[in-house]
Amino acid sequence: MEIFHGTTRTPLRHTPLEKVLGWLQQDMDYVRSSAVPQDGIGIIKAENNIDVFDMALIDGSAFTGRAELQQVYGSHLIILDDINDIKNYENFQRLKGDSRYKLIVANRILRNGYALFHRVA
């Protein structure tokens, strides 16, 4: 987190690191105190006998994007919200550099950006 905040040129750099770390702590506290299952994507796959999703949208906690991409990797369509933020910045770079995915549309200006990728291989 500290490395991303200090070295990656995104709007997040304008927010003090202490505040960002506070958001991370809030998210971790919520996960610990809630009764929400920890592996929602895995549960959906198991309950519906799904190996690969037709479409996956990664939008949620700022700190779970990379783990979520791992679980939906291979989906025919992957939509990323907040590609200019810690949530999906690295996911955007990864998919953009992956020959198995083609970037269909991206907007880095609207809010924190978004992108749509289609699996081609």
Query: How does pLDDT run across 8-47, given as a tens digit for each residue?
Result: 777 777 777 788 777 778 877 776 787 776 788 889 999 9
DSSP 79: E
> Mean pLDDT throughout 77-90?
90
* Range(s) of the domain holding residue 20: 2-119
Of the listed ranges 38-42, 52-56, 78-82, the least confidently predicted one is 38-42
Confirm if 82 and 60 have CB atoms less than 8 A apart.
Answer: no
- pLDDT score recorded for residue 3: 65
Higher pLDDT, 65 or 75: 75
> Mean pLDDT throughout 90-103?
96
End-to-end CA distance of the chain: 32
How many domains, in total, are found in the chain? 1
Residue 93: pLDDT band with limits 50, 70, 90 = very high
Tell me: the pLDDT tens digits for 99-120?
A: 999 999 999 888 889 999 999 9
- pLDDT score recorded for residue 5: 65
Burial class (CB in 10 A: 0-12, 13-18, 19+), 2: exposed
Confirm if 83 and 110 have CB atoms less than 8 A apart.
Answer: no
